Chains A and B, each alone.
Chain A
């Protein structure tokens, strides 16, 4: 990606470290809840244009998408991409009875996103000593045209992938911050580094 990251190297390393910790915690929470081992990828930090964000998120085939906004000291949105494969195993782990109705599936998706995004955000906020409140998640059917028309030029994204060990299920969570929040986070990182 040709865009320079709005973070310097030190800030970036610090954020990476914080992300590693908080995402690990998130995975642990979920693992505890559904009593299964969960693997996570090393979180990735990058800067993207709206079009790049679109391809980052939505060019996955056979997936469900959700979005969820958060407010507080920093503002932004979490978007999640969930694989359709393996969802029924996860549903069993979450104590749902087969066969799953359409509503069950929607509910599971929303709940999974809420849990994971919530855990990630909570972890990150705690590390950065910021308060954030997550709003309720909604299902999302993205339209490429809408993305091309977005107002912002580029955004910092933090991306992490969760894989549930016993099934083929996987899920990606992508955090996007608005400009003001990015500035605030940079300040916070600097304070931590000082």
Chain B
């Protein structure tokens, strides 16, 4: 009865001796043997009967005989030990059977012979279910990742749009204001110059009268002195030049701002031409080091000349603004390093300073027009927005990264051959001009 039961069990049961020769196989194994082998399988080496994973099977059998201890194998690591077809040859998806195996040491009760019993379980259904699940979860994971990427892209696109819009409207506004203010500034300036001359004439007259006072009659002398005193002539004389100088200075500042605003809209007449970035950098260092002498300036160019096609005015202005920021960020000791990298299609300029750096909360705002942390009179908050617009005009990109108290690096990349004419169609280029 037991013999029958074991024969019909829905798991494979096979017994081998210490030479790995087959002693017994139940129906599970027999059904899967070639027909002509079914009657003469005994005493055949198991690895000859079932070819494929012979080396592995032998190893495991040896271990069981040596250690007298069961051995296990799972489909996850070794799916097909015996070369059997799936239990559903017609409808199944898996063509090969997935198997779990366990080998147990046993002893023949009558002879005392050491044997090993192989249990083989068909786990094809579990395995294919498991694998389907895994595929599904992988697909889900991929989709999820794609979505996250998309969201990130949307986020950046949105912030870039806002940035671009701000720039565009401010640019127009600035240009308009600059134009309007320019006229009055012109005549105020002219008038102020005349006024200065007139004032000096008037003072000369008064001083002349004062020195001639001795020659007047006592009565007249008295009257004139009273006139001088009641009008506080001494004070007036001291103040008037100072007032005029101050006004002239103030007006110069207004003119500077207007000039900057005009730059902001970057309406230049020069047009596109060859610009040697290395030469520009040399010039700028000379210019800026004259005013800001404490930092050490270094310039690293790969080649003597690195040329791009561009508008020299705006380009210089952009680099200048960034470099001035770098110089202003350095209080006492520090360095500013310019690196010009010549790539095939583009040029990258890195402006690195060891200055005060930018706090994270400000970093997002530095390209905003009129954003400044500098004391009044020192910064108008236009430097970086001007630079941004200029670089954008060249289809380049400008980005800034900074660590507080460590320093800042601004990276500007401009294509060598900017396609200014096609710029309206190249929305994707604008997307790259990160303003953070």
Binding site for B on A (CB under 8 A): 29-30, 32-33, 94-95, 103-104, 106-107, 110-111, 114-115, 118-119, 122, 134, 136-137
Given A107-B77, A107-B78, residue A114 in contact with residue B55 (CB < 8 A):
no
Q: Please determine whether A136 and B72 come into contact, CB atoms closer than 8 angstroms.
A: yes
Specify which of A30, A33, A104, A119 lies most central, judged by the most chain B CB atoms within 10 Å of its CB: A33
Q: Please determine whether A110 and B74 come into contact, CB atoms closer than 8 angstroms.
A: yes
Q: Please determine whether B72 and A110 come into contact, CB atoms closer than 8 angstroms.
A: yes
B55's closest neighbor in chain A, by CB?
Answer: A95
Q: Please determine whether A111 and B66 come into contact, CB atoms closer than 8 angstroms.
A: no
Judged by a CB distance under 8 angstroms, whether B71 is at the interface is: yes
Q: Report B-chain residues with C-beta under 8 Å of the C-beta of A106.
A: 76-77
Q: Report B-chain residues with C-beta under 8 Å of the C-beta of A30.
A: 67
Q: Please determine whether A94 and B59 come into contact, CB atoms closer than 8 angstroms.
A: yes
For B, the interface residue count at a CB cutoff of 8 angstroms equals: 17
Q: Report A-chain residues with C-beta under 8 Å of the C-beta of B381.
A: none
Which residue of A107, A110, A115 is within 8 Å of B67 (Cβ)?
A: A115
A95 to B77, alpha carbons, bound, how many Å? 16
Task: Name B's interface SS.
Answer: mixed
Q: Please determine whether B55 and A103 come into contact, CB atoms closer than 8 angstroms.
A: no
If A122-B68, A134-B69 are given as contacts, then 15 extra A-B residue pairs at C-beta distance below 8 Å, sorted by A number, are A29-B69, A30-B67, A33-B62, A94-B59, A95-B55, A103-B76, A106-B76, A106-B77, A107-B74, A111-B72, A115-B69, A118-B67, A118-B70, A134-B70, A136-B74
Give min CB distance, A147 to chain B, whole Å: 25
Binding site for A on B (CB under 8 A): 55, 59, 62-63, 66-74, 76-78, 102
Q: Report B-chain residues with C-beta under 8 Å of the C-beta of A103.
A: 76-78
Which residue of A104, A115, A122, A137 is within 8 Å of B63 (Cβ)?
A: A115
Q: Please determine whether B68 and A136 come into contact, CB atoms closer than 8 angstroms.
A: no
Q: Please determine whether A33 and B66 come into contact, CB atoms closer than 8 angstroms.
A: yes
A111 to B71, alpha carbons, bound, how many Å? 7
Which residue of B59, B62, B71, B76 is within 8 Å of A114 (Cβ)?
A: B71
Q: Please determine whether A104 and B67 come into contact, CB atoms closer than 8 angstroms.
A: no
Give min CB distance, B123 to chain A, whole Å: 13
Give min CB distance, B46 to chain A, whole Å: 17
Q: Report B-chain residues with C-beta under 8 Å of the C-beta of A32.
A: 66
26 A-B pairs with CB atoms under 8 Å apart are A29-B66, A29-B67, A32-B66, A33-B62, A33-B63, A33-B66, A33-B67, A94-B59, A95-B55, A103-B78, A104-B77, A106-B76, A107-B73, A107-B77, A110-B72, A110-B77, A111-B72, A114-B71, A115-B63, A115-B71, A118-B69, A118-B70, A122-B67, A136-B72, A136-B74, A136-B102
